[in-house]
Amino acid sequence: MLSTGRPRRIVVVQPYIPSYRTSFFNCLRTRLDAVGCILNVLHGPPPPSHVARRDASCCTGAVQVPVCRLAVPGGRSLVWLQVQRQVASADIVVLEQALRNVDTYLLLLRQQLARMAGAGPRVAFWGHGRTYTKPVNRLESAAKDAITRRAAWFFAYTEGGAAYLASRGYPSHQITVVRNCVDTATLADVRERAGTPGTQEFAEAAALREHHRLLPGRTALFVGGLDTPKRIPFLLESVRRIADALPGFRLLVAGDGSDWPLVNAAASRANSPVVALGHTTGQDVALLGAVSDIMLMPGRVGLCAVDSLALRTPIVTTDWPWHAPEFEYLENGRNAVITPDDPAAYATAARALLTDPPRLRSLHASCRQDAGNYTTDAMAERFCDGLLRIPVP
């Protein structure tokens, strides 16, 4: 890392703090404290679209600020986190890369004026780099590129996002690839013990199998938000097809969200292969991974890719075009299976994998091998290094 020469005050502005981000911010704070820098995290409450997930959290040094939301044509909204006063004395402000954030435009204007005066905070972005999860028109794409090029630094989630930015004219020497991830240390540790005879976790996994009547080679897991991007109707249709052809098959659904009624209704039917578990976290997720052979995720693959590797539970997904950047962590046939975007083809591929133990063992081994490439400590180290490289007055 480069020496800063003096303490820096760094402010990260977040729409809200989901529980999966707290470990990263704690790791980042520890690293910045070690070099005499100050970290503040400013955030709003969870947006209406995420309230049902029940995943809002907090971390040391975080401050919630007022938020204004304004609906605009096309079913979208503008969001203004009122952070102007809190960032006035910052050296660096890190913002989400998003056109909807009004504070982005205000802070970029402040940065421009401050440069003329030789002082003021530098604005950095972090995010996808390009728009992965939805279609955008040329105007939106050009506007996002134009705004991004005005940032003093960019923290890209993945190598693919960084490559896109460079192709659009953003200086590659001002990009840090952070390898976006979540803290999976506990998941991996509990998963390891659950596979070790004589441990408490091993006994708990055995009890879980008995309670839900789970059979070896016949169990799949879904973990995450139950909302539109996860394509729950596609998932349930595929599960029906798998169960029709594979007696004893079960799908464990760990999550909550706006599509919970669909899952609950499916689980309530007589002899249903669906087991609805609701919002699940921590050690319980690790035990679910230990008793599952594969992870079914036909919709958006994002940070669940990291969970999959830590749990040694390979994802079966589709070539749907709107996956998040972390989809790049998956390699078809090595640590995951990627099928055509069709319920029949998807179900056939999942069933074939479940009935092919040598192939399944190979994917499990690759997941375990790759898990160490994505840790929050390493992500925080890369982020900290980038922050120290940003020129400040």
At 87 the pLDDT is 85
CA dist., res. 35 & res. 390, Å (int):
15
Asked if 280 contacts 254 with a C-beta cutoff of 8 angstroms, the reply is yes
Asked if 303 contacts 180 with a C-beta cutoff of 8 angstroms, the reply is yes
Kindly report which listed range (71-75, 242-246, 281-285) carries the lowest average pLDDT score: 71-75
Q: How many CB atoms lie within 10 A of CB 356?
A: 13
Asked if 250 contacts 213 with a C-beta cutoff of 8 angstroms, the reply is yes
Q: What is the pLDDT of residues 59-114, one digit of tens each?
A: 888 888 888 888 777 667 788 888 888 888 899 999 999 878 778 877 888 777 76
* H-helix or E-strand spanning residue 278: strand 274-278
Distance between alpha carbon 220 and the CA centroid of its chain, in Å? 20
**The pair of three-digit structure tokens given for residue 251, joined into one six-digit string:** 């799908």
Average pLDDT of 250-265? Answer: 96
Q: Rounded to two decimals, what is the model's pTM?
A: 0.89
Average pLDDT of 371-386? Answer: 96
346 pLDDT more than 50: yes
- DSSP H helices, 130-259, are 138-148, 159-167, 185-194, 200-211, 232-245
* H-helix or E-strand spanning residue 277: strand 274-278
**Which residue is it, tokens 């994998």?**
353
CA distances from 115 to 56, 108, 169, 235 (A): 36, 11, 21, 52
At 18 the pLDDT is 86
Going along the chain from its start, the domains and CATH numbers come out as 9-182+375-389 (3.40.50.2000), 185-372 (3.40.50.2000)
How do 9-14 and 92-96 pair as beta strands? parallel
Mean pLDDT for the chain overall: 91
53 or 189: whose pLDDT is higher? 189
